[in-house]
Structure 1
Amino acid sequence: MKGKRPQPWLIYALTTMMFWGFWGAFTNVPAQNGFPDTLIYCVWALTMLVPTVFILKRSKARIQLDKKSLLYGFIVGFLGAGGQMVLFYSLTIGPAYLIFPIISLSPVVTIVLSFFLLRERTGWMGAIGILLAMIALPLFEYSENNPDNDNGTLWFILSIIILIAWGVQAFFLKLANRTMQVSSIFFYMAIAGIDLIPVAIYMTDFSQEINWGINGPFLAAGIQILNSVGVLCLVYAFRTGKAIVVSPLTNAGAPLITTVISMLFLGLVPGWAKITGILFAVTATFLLALDSEKVDGGNNDFNQPLK
């Protein structure tokens, strides 16, 4: 008897995890080479145009310009890009070893909103998988190295803002997929990211020496395109799957892959926290994948035009 084909949302979610996993492993390399994080943001925003052009040509659909699409599109776009901009500043005043575990819990917001407002449900294996994924997230970012100065509480407030922004963004991403084409959603996400480029340039300290060579902006472009393609796959995953499952799966799976790649290619040996996170994430991914075979992942006609 032939095995059941994986649901489309799961394929897209796993693809997102793969692209984000490789992106996460190498994303800091250009900064280490002397290319500022704020300019890396600018490069990322521009790389978003590549999958945007691809999906627009592939779908041959017009950009939806009705009020609802404009609202959803820019909410998703500015929550994502705006959260990234706030993250840049928070990392300059606060401890990264605490900031990243906090913002990695953004799927909690998505799960709560999807559970109560979208009435999304999952089976018992999915519920356990979600729980393990939520436990795994902060473990991937945990560090035993404490900074000398935490610079007050502003970094904590900003971290909470990012957590809420990205959690709400994922919820609206699912909501937008009910009435919008993927091409329109991604178009607005790309435009929102580009709109914030002037802010990133303003935040850049041009008095420092900046690496404009191949291993600076050009390397950043090659790495950031992985992020952009991952975002496109994520939009498709939310289109055909449940936000209550897609969000924790991708947010736990991506750092899992990043950790493994860092071990294999960069020679980094993770501590006990990351090893525990790996075990939890692998188990969570397995359970969510199994549960997807039993619980309908949502509307699978993602290639059909919306009325």
Structure 2
Amino acid sequence: MNAWLLYALSTLLLWGVWGAFAGLPSANGVPETLNYVVWSLTMIPPALVVLSRSGQPLLRDRRSVLLGLSIGLLGAGGQLLLFHAVRVGPPYLIFPIISLSPALTILLSFALLRERTGWLGIVGIVMALLSLPLFDYRADGEPTGYGSWFFMALVILAAWGVQAYVIKLANASMDAASIFFYMMLSGLLLSPLAIAMTDFSQPINYSLDGPGLAAVIQLLNAIGALTLVFAFRYGKAIIVSPLVNAGAPLLTALLSLLLAGAMPGPYKIAGIALALTAALLLAVQPEESTQR
């Protein structure tokens, strides 16, 4: 198995399971903003472990610091903005918009990094992009006018699409440990803002089934972010990005439906079928066809 595929599938698995249980801390009385703070703290252990095992010192030159912090701030900043967007807008419209961020990654990687793939990869990329909005589509949702939430969703889409491109760009001159360290640092730098956004007038659960549960769940997200950096290091962004961004919601949807004992609607079934086919095509794309 190619290294990029192993890391991409690891991210897919970790993020898919994380997505299925990510709502539990909020249901147990932990605000999303404090959930973000817990997530930023869970980034520390994998960052220190991979840095200590890399055998290389942390890169401190201006380019490395700028690239690393840019990656972290684009990801963490988009996450914070998402907290506000879902408060003022409909999640069933916001998440399908955000899910198209791989399209921007593909465009940037194709134009600026000259990445190419074979026909199997092209068909897989298209099918993955088509599948993404279907996981959160709600046919019975009430019509909603375009408000501030729409523009925030576009900003998040741009931030996460550019972030994936910059991760691939940074891997050309930085080791994965340094990239992830600055991602961790960026998340911590935005934690005070998340705390400031928290409504402490509402009841908050500080017990083990609150922040403790959040830490276990968010650690899956943090490790998945680390394996994603390695996936971009060894694989092409135009393949890694759609594979992970279609596969993880697919696994989340399947696990959520299994836990709820429910049957998926026609849109989710279509999304699952497209994502499964896309993942298969991207995984079997011959390596020699991508090396152009």
Q: So what's the TM-score if we normalise by structure 1?
A: 0.92
Aligned with 1:51 (options 46, 53, 76):
46
Q: Which amino acid aligns with 1:234?
A: L
2:76 is matched with 81
Aligned with 2:162 (options 152, 164, 168):
168
1:19 aligns with 2:14: yes
Distance 1:125 1:209 in 2: 52
* 1:25 and 1:262 in contact (8 A); partners too: yes
1:226 is matched with 220
Structure with the higher helix share, 1 or 2: 2
Q: Which runs of 5+ in 2 are unaligned?
A: none
1:208 is matched with 202
* 1:73 and 1:184 in contact (8 A); partners too: yes
Distance 2:66 2:142 in 1: 41
Structure 1 residues 88-137: Cα deviation after superposition (integer angstroms, max 9, x where no partner)? 01011001000000000000110000001000000000000000000000
Shift of 1:292: 4.1
1:90 aligns with 2:85: yes
Structure 1 residues 245-299: Cα deviation after superposition (integer angstroms, max 9, x where no partner)? 100010000011111111223324321111111100000000001114443469x
Shift of 1:50: 1.4
* 2:109 and 2:165 in contact (8 A); partners too: yes
1:41 is matched with 36
Runs of 4+ in 1 over 3 A off after TM superposition: 147-150
Q: Which amino acid aligns with 2:69?
A: F
* 1:9 and 1:297 in contact (8 A); partners too: no
Q: Which amino acid aligns with 1:183?
A: A
* 1:23 and 1:223 in contact (8 A); partners too: yes
Distance 2:133 2:167 in 1: 23
Distance 2:90 2:140 in 1: 10
Aligned with 2:97 (options 80, 102, 122):
102
1:286 aligns with 2:287: no
Number of aligned residue pairs: give it.
292
Distance 1:184 1:154 in 2: 36
1:116 aligns with 2:111: yes
2:139 is matched with 144
Comparing 206-215 with 97-106, greater Cα deviation is found at 206-215
* 1:128 and 1:284 in contact (8 A); partners too: yes
Structure 1 residues 137-184: Cα deviation after superposition (integer angstroms, max 9, x where no partner)? 00011123425765x510000000000000000000000000001000
Q: Which amino acid aligns with 2:250?
A: L
Q: Which amino acid aligns with 2:14?
A: F
* 2:118 and 2:290 in contact (8 A); partners too: no
1:195 is matched with 189
Structure 1 residues 183-226: Cα deviation after superposition (integer angstroms, max 9, x where no partner)? 00000000000000011101100000011122211000000000
Shift of 1:60: 2.5
1:64 aligns with 2:62: no
Q: Which amino acid aligns with 2:21?
A: F
Q: Which amino acid aligns with 2:79?
A: Q
Shift of 1:81: 0.3
Distance 1:290 1:244 in 2: 15
Partner secondary structure for residue 295 of structure 1: helix
Distance 1:216 1:166 in 2: 28
Shift of 1:57: 1.5
Q: Which runs of 5+ in 1 are unaligned?
A: 1-5, 299-307
2:251 is matched with 257
Comparing 260-269 with 29-38, greater Cα deviation is found at 260-269
Distance 1:255 1:274 in 2: 11
Distance 1:297 1:25 in 2: 35
Partner secondary structure for residue 80 of structure 1: helix
